[in-house]
Amino acid sequence: MGILIDEQTHVVIQGITGREASKVTKEMLDYGTRVVAGVTPGKGGIEVHGVPVYDSLGQAIKAHPGINAVLTYVPPLAVKDAVFEALHYRIPVINIITERVPMLDAAHIHAYARRCGSHLVGPTSVGIINPLARTKIGPIGGVNVDRVFRPGTVGVISKSGGMTTETAWIIQQAGFGVSTAMGIGGDFIKGGTFLDFIPMFFADPQTEAIVIFGEPGGGDEEALAAYIRQNGLQKPIIAFVSGRFVDHMPQGVQFGHAGAVIERGIGSPSAKIHALREAGVLVADVQHEIGALLKMALG
């Protein structure tokens, strides 16, 4: 099964005529994803790799009423309008690839998505993939997707795009595969956090364990730890928190992603690791230990 996307996912791509979006469209189609429409204002009537393009999302939905997922690949200042249009139509899954979305826009998007009940992944996401269903949204895995993302029973949530693939590779080398993997992005304000998707993995019969890749900054890992302490650890969670070196650096400095800010002791790797371990999460000291911890958890 997996979560968020499956064989019944019908995708529309906002900004499909852009160079990068066009390339990713072909990768998605080649993998098996049902990309049914694209949207670029002023370019309605053309096709991109056989996918019809419309001037608005409303036109695309009218022509393809089964659309239930949106991939947003538009410039930063256009993201808010594009996502608001998708939320207006109550699209259940929205994946934002765009980077450098203004923080105020991201806050408005986040709030509106919560009210609409949509699952929002990103901004600054690398995509979502369900190898069991041969479905992916976004550039995740690239053209060599099958070399890394093998079907299996481990869910993956990563703040880092590149480390989503690296983590899946470590899982494969340990003899396991992936149920669903996603890069949620490392922005300070993002649509979905570990806490939004972990309960979905807990409820998914296909997923037996979850691996998370954390980073310095924010309180996502601490919030997850608090949730587990209150509700219990229903399935094994293995975590790796990168950037331990920043514990020895001046506070109030941004490292890497926009959300990687540590201030007043909040968001430090050491604090995250302590909270997760206190909640019963298995935390790897180095990333390649994820495989050994998976073997220990799943036998």
Catalytic residues: 257
CB 97 within 8 A of CB 122: yes
Phi first, then psi: give them for residue 108, nearest 5 degrees.
Answer: -65, -40
166: left (phi over 0), alpha (psi -120 to 50) or beta: alpha
Strand order in the sheet with 127-130: 135-137, 127-130, 178-183, 151-158, 209-214, 237-241, 282-283
Residue 206: both structure tokens together: 């296909």
Cis peptide before 76 (omega within 30 of 0): no
CB 235 within 8 A of CB 211: no
Length of the chain as a residue count: 299
- Residue 93, SS3 per DSSP: strand
CB 225 within 8 A of CB 20: no
- Report the alpha-carbon angle 141-145-148, nearest 5: 90
What is the DSSP code (8-state) at residue 266? B
β-strand pairing of 127-130 with 135-137 = antiparallel
